[in-house]
A and B are shown apart, each in its own frame.
Chain A
Amino acid sequence: QQKVQQSPESLIVPEGGMASLNCTFSDRNSQYFWWYRQHSGEGPKALMSIFSNGDKKEGRFTAHLNKASLYVSLHIKDSQPSDSALYFCAVIRGNNNNRIFFGDGTQLVVKP
């Protein structure tokens, strides 16, 4: 069964700083990768996806994927207190196997 591991478990960055969140997965046939964000008291919301090797930038957020290294990451530039949340990595094999595997999350705190 797919194993998805996130690091670090928790991360504190100053306002305006860079936050880097890491995720490794075990199934080489995985095709679809998502980052979800969950603010306290709410359900998780999809933040961004990445399906091809390399970088994908959306505003202050950049996702990076290296399928050969079984690695995906999320970088948040110019972090804001509103970015404080629990971030989940999600991995899907695809090709009619649509079971979604989540990591245990990284708790990000951005200090003003």
Chain B
Amino acid sequence: GGIITQTPKFLIGQEGQKLTLKCQQNFNHDTMYWYRQDSGKGLRLIYYSITENDLQKGDLSEGYDASREKKSSFSLTVTSAQKNEMAVFLCASSITGTTGQLYFGEGSKLTVL
């Protein structure tokens, strides 16, 4: 079995700061995703990537950048942290051509002071 590792688990930053979240997977999956989950609510897609160096915008990409330099890793940058985007950020991966099974990491919780 594989695993998705997100770092850091908790990230605290100042308003306006640029903050980066990292995700590594050892499933050898092609597609990786970043979702944002506001307190106990639904999942909103920020960015996804179907292969190395590919980036596709989701529904919530404004204010975020992403980078997929290696197949196994996908990073997300909050370009200017705002208090209203305190949330849990979830990374996931899947096989391309998927029937829908995503494998999620445990999440990174962002707090903005």
Beyond A88-B42, A88-B43, A104-B42, whether A43 also contacts B99 by CB under 8 A is no
Beyond A34-B100, A43-B90, A92-B100, whether A102 also contacts B42 by CB under 8 A is yes
The smallest beta-carbon distance between B95 and chain A, in angstroms, is 10
- Give complex CA distance A107, B40 in Å: 9
Beyond A43-B90, A44-B90, whether A100 also contacts B42 by CB under 8 A is no
Within 8 A of A (CB), among B87-113: 90, 92, 96-107
For A36, A92, A96, A100, which residue has the most chain B Cβ atoms within 10 angstroms?
A100
Q: Is the interface of B mostly helix, strand, loop or mixed?
A: loop
Beyond A86-B40, A88-B42, A105-B41, whether A45 also contacts B100 by CB under 8 A is no
**Contact call A49/B42, Cβ cutoff below 8 A:** no
Within 8 A of B (CB), among A10-60: 31-34, 36, 41-46, 49, 51
Among residues of B, the one whose C-beta sits closest to the C-beta of A105 is B42
Does A94 reach chain B (CB closer than 8 Å)?
A: yes
Does A90 reach chain B (CB closer than 8 Å)?
A: yes
- In the A-B complex, list the 4 residue pairs whose CB atoms are closest, starting with the nearest: A43-B104, A104-B42, A92-B100, A32-B99
Given contacts A91-B100, A98-B96, 19 further A-B contacts (CB under 8 A): A31-B99, A34-B100, A42-B106, A43-B4, A43-B104, A45-B104, A46-B103, A49-B100, A51-B99, A86-B40, A88-B42, A90-B100, A90-B102, A92-B98, A96-B97, A98-B98, A98-B100, A104-B42, A105-B41
